[in-house]
Structure 1
């Protein structure tokens, strides 16, 4: 024996200390106001960033907003840029299982030690800004603002060649908007968070258009004509170039297949035939078209074609956990994070196109401030039976109340209310298997519901 501590034991001890520290940090962040408790001001995050030396200005940014498709599109852009040889950071929300999923380096959740280091750099600055704000009758930074500050610091420390940044809520007043994107991406705009963003798509589009900055290129998915007008107006106002799906780029052809779909695209600079995308649904093909146009805009101002082999390899590696994802077979269990009627429409269309279940059972848990009736109305034709439940979120709608809404649309015989999600999953599987093989369960209604069903079935990787 040489007397030296066992290396494995030392590593295990260090890992345990990191996990303890991460728990402490998470508890401190979660103790703040939740991310949906926002104040229409960038003053706090701007002050922290200034004290930190404005790390968000040390690398180029691709900034995304929209109602649905932001996270999938962000992951697609990230995949393309990594395959093109760039070092990437990505910030998305919310997370499915682990807070570190929101901040990725080279497509992987940030290592614990790097998250801890970035937080420890930022935390004293947050305390200074909190104290200043409270002294003048203001508020402390919320959960989301602190995570944005940590992400921007971590990307500067890495360092990254480019950061792909998804807004948390809206655009103009979102904490991420202290960054100036060289490329702005607007995924489809629809009604969501109306109590915060506005009661119609024009108001919502106006708020989201705030991420369009001077001398940038804006890449917009297909939008309602009223939304197009708002985005054009903003681009003209700040001196930005804007391109639109269908007009400037788009999906040329798509063919659903086993494990995904074959997609041909028209980009800003070239056409890209026969790309295999291992994701289901027409909406994902359109997300890919937007991502390709964004990558073209970033890498060559929209005038330089992507290398087809690079793009094909990037597409084959794409994933979008919690978005029409198969997490179990026999019976098949799908999870999908659809949390508004627009997302539910995409889910229903993809189910009809790519899955032929003999019996389709919905397992649905919805957050209380969402349009539950609107979501259920869209889902009704797709489900033979619905099991309503709740996730562990304190914001989750009570199952009894959700059940009442479901009965109005589905009829009493097609609705089962089960309070706890694990029991509800078991009940949904039982119902799917009642008529033999070929049944399927679709767990949806919120990101939290999708994430918790994933975890119950042993899926935690992202």
Structure 2
């Protein structure tokens, strides 16, 4: 059944709310950790899930977009729904969706996936659901649920055509997930976003905890394959926590995840330190500064807006001792492409511009025209297909010699990261 495309939709909760009513409001059958923000949502969701699962809870996780398979978006116990289960959940919902359609409320693509997640989690059943918004907050389809704990990750400019032209407006939209009675975990924010979020907290009477004030990262150092953290939570200090993810932004995501799980847990005692260490040591965040090949080292990252790219490049500089970096870049036409290229120019010695598998991907020649203004003609290479572009980038790194310290960074979009993981057969793709 044709449901349109994910990025073209009418912002309202009317359709999904009516469908959830028909289904008996499955989103109200378990506590929800609801996550909004611009960058870091999926990583934070996976870290929350890791902590909850280490406590022997059955956890449902709904995230978007996916890297390779649509089924990645709906996970139970850390695993995507099987093909059979995914189809079964859809078939169980189909009569209710069709009934909703006939009443003039035609369910759209992301709304259908959201309904499948909520219904599937209720049917499993799960002990807790960790839910990432798709876009925004107030009218995001996931917002038919009320989070017991709401997490707002760092907010920056993205989806400005949908969410608004400035950080304050975007923050106002994302603040819509904050409901009365919730505990709100706020990552570090620009002052414009923080003011809007705190006003929403005051208006709803929610309880708030802020990174850098009530909780945060006390210390961190680069370690083999990740970083070693000391985290201050809401209920205690957690030392010697190894996180196999790179960058200060991932340390911040871990602090937010820890605070969220503490807030969800009764009593005043801290979480068991060994539980925290074990959970975070097993954490993963595919497509986020992920090494998918060595000799030469190839790193994939899903950064697709300037805020995310700043965090990525800081993490790349901190964790990887590359003497030279070859970039393979494919972006969406509706993103701040100039902003991304401006940030990449000081880091990339050469850039291979290409396109990914999405129909929204900017054509390689068009991206090259923009890249020339930042990199100059000698540093820009145009390759139409992503697989050929990756081969070109790896070949350029190989040509520098085995001991040259040259790495390859594939970035620019979640779709680019997913395509690259699939093409290079990364674990789990």
* Fold similarity call, TM over 0.5: yes
Residue 175 of structure 1 corresponds to which residue in structure 2?
141
Q: In the alignment, which residue of structure 2 is the partner of 1:109?
A: 80
Q: How does 1:89-108 map to 2 (within 5 A)?
A: 89-108=60-79
Structure 1 position 359, deviation (Å): 2.1
CA distance in 2 between counterparts of 1:333 and 1:304 reads 42
> Which of these residues, 172, 193, 199, is aligned with residue 206 of structure 1?
172
Q: Does 1:395 align with 2:360?
A: yes
| Residues 339-418 of structure 1 mapped to structure 2, 5 A cutoff | 339-418=304-383
Counterpart among 12, 15, 21 of residue 50 in structure 1: 21
Aligned counterparts of 1:229 and 1:345: Cα–Cα separation in 2: 23
Question: 2:365 and 2:339 mapped to 1: Cα distance?
Answer: 17
Q: Quick check: 1:170–1:197 contact (8 Å CA) kept in 2?
A: yes
- Structure 2 match to 1:147: 113
In 2: Cα distance, 1:304 partner to 1:382 partner: 45
Name 2:3's counterpart in structure 1: 32
Larger deviation, residues 344-353 vs 124-133:
124-133
CA contact (8 A) 1:172 1:210 kept: yes
Give the secondary structure class of the aligned counterpart of 1:313: helix
Deviations 1:112-169 (A, max 9, x none): 2222221111111111112222xxxx6x322101000000010000000000000000
Confirm whether residue 423 of structure 1 aligns to residue 394 of structure 2: no
What is the TM-score of this pair, normalised by structure 1? 0.91
Q: Say if 1:391 and 1:421, in contact at 8 Å, map to a contact too.
A: yes
Query: C-alpha separation between the residues in 1 aligned to 2:209 and 2:9?
Result: 31
Q: Is 1:443 aligned to 2:410, yes or no?
A: yes
Q: 1:304 aligns with which of 246, 269, 277?
A: 269
Larger radius of gyration: 1
CA RMSD of aligned residues (A): 1.1
1:76 alignment partner in structure 2: 47
Alignment partner for residue 397 of structure 2, among 427, 432, 447? Answer: 432
Shift of 1:391: 0.5
Note the 1:222-237 alignment, pairs <5 A. 222-237=188-203
Distance 2:206 2:188 in 1: 18
Q: Which whole-Å CA distance do the structure 1 matches of 2:31 and 2:5 have between them?
A: 28
Instruction: Give ranges in structure 1 of 5+ residues lacking alignment.
Output: 1-27
- CA deviation after TM superposition for structure 1 residue 111, in Å: 2.0
Aligned length: 427
Deviations 1:164-193 (A, max 9, x none): 000000000000000000000000011000
User: What is the match of residue 25 of structure 1?
Assistant: none
Q: Select 1:328's aligned residue among 280, 293, 316.
A: 293
1:284 aligns with 2:255: no
Shift of 1:460: 5.1
Q: Please, which moves more after superposition, 258-267 or 221-230? A: 221-230
DSSP 3-state at the match of 2:408: strand
1:175-228 deviation line (CA, Å, top 9, x unaligned): 000000000000001100000000000000000000001111000000112211
Q: Secondary structure at the match of 2:265?
A: helix
Per-residue deviation at 1:358? 2.6
Cα deviation, residue 458, structure 1: 1.1
Give 2:37's aligned residue: 66
Kept in 2: contact 1:359–1:435 (CA 8 A): no
**Residue 53 (structure 1) shift:** 0.5
Q: What secondary structure does 1:261 align onto? A: strand
- 1:369 alignment partner, SS class: coil
Q: 1:380: how far off?
A: 1.0
Is contact 1:37-1:142 (8 Å) kept?
no
Note if 1:313 corresponds to 2:298.
no
Q: Which moved more, 1:33-42 or 1:149-158?
A: 33-42
Query: What aligned pairs does 1:237-248 form with structure 2 within 5 A after superposition?
Result: 237-248=203-214
User: Hey, what's the Cα distance between the residues in 2 that align with 1:149 and 1:41?
Assistant: 15
**2: CA distance between counterparts of 1:335 and 1:245?**
28
Deviations 1:53-101 (A, max 9, x none): 1100011100000000000000000000000111100000000111110
Q: Distance in 2 between matches of 1:122 and 1:162?
A: 21
